[in-house]
Structure 1
Amino acid sequence: MSRKQVILGAYLGGVNHHTAWWHPEAGSQIAFSSFEHTARTAERGFFDFFFLAEGLALRERAGEVFDQDIIGRPDTFTVLASLAAVTEHLGLAGTINATFNEPYELARKFASLDHLSGGRAAWNVVTSFDAFTGGNFRRGGFLDPADRYVRAEETLNAVRALWDSWGVDDVVADKESGRFLARGNAGEFAISGAQFDIHGRFTVPRSPQGRPVVLQAGVSPQGRDFAAANADAIFSPFGKLPEAADFYRDVKARAVKAGRSADDIKILPSASFVLGDSAADAAEKHRAILHEQVTGQTALILLEQIYNRDLSAYDPDGPVPDIEPDPEAPPIIQGRAFIHQDRFATVKRLREVSEAKKLSLREVVIDQFERGPLVGTPAQVAEQIDTFVQHNGSDGFILGSHLVPTGLDEFVDKVVPLLQDRGVVRTEYTGTTLRDNLGLAAAPAPVRV
């Protein structure tokens, strides 16, 4: 039986506490040289794609900007288009919100990126409903939480309709004029639904992938259904077996139920890594990094998002607070994605872990908030990745480092060659598009109605 190939994505740390901005080797979070170095390193390691997260508003605590966050994130499309000029094979994936952007703009920008990059564009579809983020946009916080996936699905369907409004043979060459001409109905579209009533002609001919790759992150049952029915890849929040394997089976089953093949969707958790000369050396480095990342103040703020209470009076080196969350109060933390489905169950688990392991507030945050880091010697990390993928915990990993922009270099130099020796990472790019490299089926041909 052949071994699964490991998909590798690279992300550049941004607006969160994981980025070691204080490190003497740390570079700028917004300089093009940082993005370029990370992307070139990923391509040197034969990664599948480079990924950018998105922050649409500066995060706040009790009305004030976090003073431990990294401030600043340039426009995603500008960065990815620039990287298209300095890479040849690497996919370029951007997180763009489906709530605050219009289908025509989204379709045109991603189709343009796909043309500029020769078929390497990917869209990570995210949603938002909170008034805090919406305050930066014309629509404000209008969207009811129950409707966010309704809008996301209509947005994605509309974008795909625009991509498909150009047929594969709608551009023809006129020999006399030397110009390229469009056939009569090329680009025509008319879309009407609960969210949109738009019509016109799309300006960008069909791109190399036909449809750029679609990524999505969904943990709730509704989010999983949306991703399973629509995404080419989904970001998994689970970095440890067996819960990761349970998520893998669940999403693949939902894809089949939606009329797709299980192979039509790839499962990709994010992970950090720490390498050492020995297992003990790597573990010590990892412990030191975690304690630098999660200061006492950071630990309190991470818990405040769960409790939705001001915890500043609590000692980070003391016990977990004995109060209960207050989900009905106005949010004390604004601009940070909330990933905990049940506040009360999460607090109960944190207390149980703290008591069982004799951990302080800060220590339990460090223990529980990290998602399956890869720690060990290069050989051990290669083994961890290969074992995880072959046991269907995922189809690969999206890797990032606490050190920007040079952190990925060590992984590419020391771990990738070992994965290549195992036969699970390519030694050269053979596909011409991101779809090819991810092992995804070609986009369906446009259907004229």
Structure 2
Amino acid sequence: MSKPVKQIHLAAHFPGVNNTTVWSDPQAGSQIDFSSFVHLARTAERAKFDFLFLAEGLRLREQNGEIYDLDVVGRPDTFTVLAALAAVTERLGLAGTVNSTFNEPYEVARQFASLDHLSDGRAAWNVVTSWDEFTGENFRRGGFLAQEDRYERARQFLSAARGLFDSWRGDEILADRESGAFLREPGPGRFDHHDGQFDISGHFNVPRSPQGRPVIFQAGDSDAGREFAASAADAIFSRHGTPEAGRAFYTDVKDRLARYGRTRDELKILPGVTFVLGDTEADAHEKAHLIRRQQVSGQTAIRLLEQLWNRDLSAYDPDGPLPEVDPLLGEHTVARGRASVRHHRDPLATAAEWRALAEAKKLSIRELIIEVTGRQSFIGTPARVAEQLNESVQTDAADGFILVPHLTPGGLDEFADTVVPLLQERGVHRTEYEGTTLRDHLGLAAPRPVPSPS
């Protein structure tokens, strides 16, 4: 029996401020003007994408007291932008990253329930944690949390938020726990949540939203993050863009669902990926090389090297050789708690690997960082990229992709005009929206509301 053909879920990540963005390119526009957000959102909607995704930073990234060169334009508030986009789009989902470490469940639940109403059921929440001390300085509570504490707070935060979403008894039918009868009880319901993180109770003041709850995304890659996603998320924003790594991650996370009473279709895995298109394969690869050099400036290269070396390397020439000194072990003093630091479990071994690679290929610091850090996931002609995307989904490396263009706001235009029609011809991407909500687009069932207390 042949395996059913899977539909490819596609989403657009507004590039904003990250190591993908090339703000210095002559074709780049504003990263904060509303017109840029509108352009990308409308491009995604005409290409029948599932949703637009916004990342969030609660503080500009800095190291040794200096702001990253990619962060100088600032970061607008996620809810403000998504609410405004709800008015200029009709079907496109609106997903935003909102932090569970430095926010409170009542505020976040109220904002997302409101966004779901404003958009007629198109809201999604990417639940993330914060690890770094300098972000904490922006908040009254301050400090930073150890990994196990961050995920415990995130679990309880999401549990509390779901209780808030479900506490309003709308027109849906609710089951009476004692009698088994079905009751209609419109109106606000009381919520109570008490645990080691939160001690809250009261009445939620936003009616149950069109989706019941917003779609829940999770973006952590640690074992704790994967377990959190398997237990509570509707979708994962994964960083595994290659087929081999994608299939391993896909299998691992999907295999965890059964112990939470969930089927494999109840969680979508959507890697964030980049792309470069060209008239020929050679043209595309030449463009990709130029883009990587734009993405990794000399300053960025030194900052990324510092995160492994745990030393101030500002005196080093990015076009020169690697430092002769070894990484400093122990408490991280340069970029405390950053995700990129945590990935280097053995800094001395990683440094040795990088030195060997630099020596073998005669690479400078900047050239090495370009070599070892992220690169474009899909490179080639539109036909080749369409083929690669489809093969990845059909072989269970992903359920779809969140595309991160390197230019704002027109970086998605060429993909929408050339690759999407080829996917539609293959019958693996919609030509029209069939539903109205983001849950419809993702093929997710409506969440079951919490039964009304007797």
SS in 2 for 1:255: helix
Is 1:395 the equivalent of 2:392?
no
Matches within 5 A, 1:418-437: 418-437=422-441
Change (3 A) 1:330 1:315: same
CA shift for structure 1 position 352: 4.1
| Counterpart pick for 1:169 among 164, 168, 171 | 171
TM value normalised by structure 1: 0.93
Is 1:37 the equivalent of 2:43?
no
| Counterpart pick for 2:90 among 68, 88, 95 | 88
Change (3 A) 1:142 1:298: closer
Change (3 A) 1:343 1:132: farther
Alignment-mate amino acid for residue 420 of structure 2 = V
Is 1:342 the equivalent of 2:331?
no
Q: How big is each residue's C-alpha offset from its partner over 1:97-155, in whole Å with a ceiling of 9 and x where there is no partner?
A: 00111111011000000001000000000011432111111111153443101100000
CA shift for structure 1 position 187: 2.5
Is 1:108 the equivalent of 2:129?
no
CA shift for structure 1 position 183: 4.7
Q: How big is each residue's C-alpha offset from its partner over 1:348-389, in whole Å with a ceiling of 9 and x where there is no partner?
A: 443343345443322221122115521110001101111111
Query: Hey, what's the Cα distance between the residues in 2 that align with 1:6 and 1:184?
Result: 38
Matches within 5 A, 1:194-233: 194-233=196-235
Matches within 5 A, 1:4-403: 4-141=6-143, 143-169=145-171, 183=185, 186-333=188-335, 337-338=339-340, 340-344=343-347, 345-403=349-407
- Match in the other structure for 1:175: none
Query: Hey, what's the Cα distance between the residues in 2 that align with 1:170 and 1:287?
Result: 55
- The answer to whether the 8 A contact 1:46-1:429 is kept is yes
Change (3 A) 1:284 1:261: same
- Match in the other structure for 1:412: 416
- The answer to whether the 8 A contact 2:69-2:300 is kept is no
SS in 1 for 2:69: coil
Change (3 A) 1:220 1:117: same
- Match in the other structure for 1:179: none
Q: How big is each residue's C-alpha offset from its partner over 1:8-41, in whole Å with a ceiling of 9 and x where there is no partner?
A: 1101112224322122221111110000000000
- The answer to whether the 8 A contact 1:53-1:94 is kept is yes
Query: Hey, what's the Cα distance between the residues in 2 that align with 1:229 and 1:408?
Result: 33
SS in 2 for 1:242: helix
Change (3 A) 1:354 1:401: same
- Match in the other structure for 1:448: 452
CA shift for structure 1 position 255: 1.7
How many correspondences in the alignment?
A: 439
- The answer to whether the 8 A contact 1:283-1:375 is kept is yes
My pick for the range that moved more, 368-377 or 353-362, is 353-362
Change (3 A) 1:391 1:184: closer
Query: Hey, what's the Cα distance between the residues in 1 that align with 2:390 and 2:172?
Result: 44
SS in 2 for 1:153: helix
Change (3 A) 1:226 1:59: same
Change (3 A) 1:403 1:184: closer
Alignment-mate amino acid for residue 121 of structure 1 = A
Alignment-mate amino acid for residue 351 of structure 1 = R
- Match in the other structure for 1:439: 443
SS in 2 for 1:333: coil
- The answer to whether the 8 A contact 1:129-1:141 is kept is no
- The answer to whether the 8 A contact 1:163-1:206 is kept is yes
Query: Hey, what's the Cα distance between the residues in 2 that align with 1:163 and 1:95?
Result: 18
Change (3 A) 1:379 1:142: closer
- Match in the other structure for 2:178: none
- The answer to whether the 8 A contact 1:304-1:310 is kept is yes
CA shift for structure 1 position 235: 1.5
Alignment-mate amino acid for residue 278 of structure 2 = G
Query: Hey, what's the Cα distance between the residues in 1 that align with 2:92 and 2:153?
Result: 30
Change (3 A) 1:347 1:238: farther
SS in 1 for 2:217: strand
Query: Hey, what's the Cα distance between the residues in 2 that align with 1:371 and 1:393?
Result: 18
Query: Hey, what's the Cα distance between the residues in 2 that align with 1:362 and 1:104?
Result: 45
SS in 2 for 1:124: strand
- The answer to whether the 8 A contact 1:57-1:335 is kept is no
CA RMSD across the alignment = 2.0
- Match in the other structure for 2:177: none
Change (3 A) 1:327 1:398: farther
SS in 1 for 2:274: strand
- Match in the other structure for 1:178: none
My pick for the range that moved more, 6-15 or 321-330, is 321-330
- The answer to whether the 8 A contact 1:165-1:446 is kept is yes
TM value normalised by structure 2: 0.92
Change (3 A) 1:395 1:316: same
Change (3 A) 1:207 1:351: same
Shift >6 Å, 4+ stretches: none
Alignment-mate amino acid for residue 69 of structure 1 = D
Alignment-mate amino acid for residue 56 of structure 2 = E
Query: Hey, what's the Cα distance between the residues in 2 that align with 1:229 and 1:323?
Result: 44
- The answer to whether the 8 A contact 2:171-2:186 is kept is no
Contiguous gaps of at least 5 residues in structure 2? 174-183
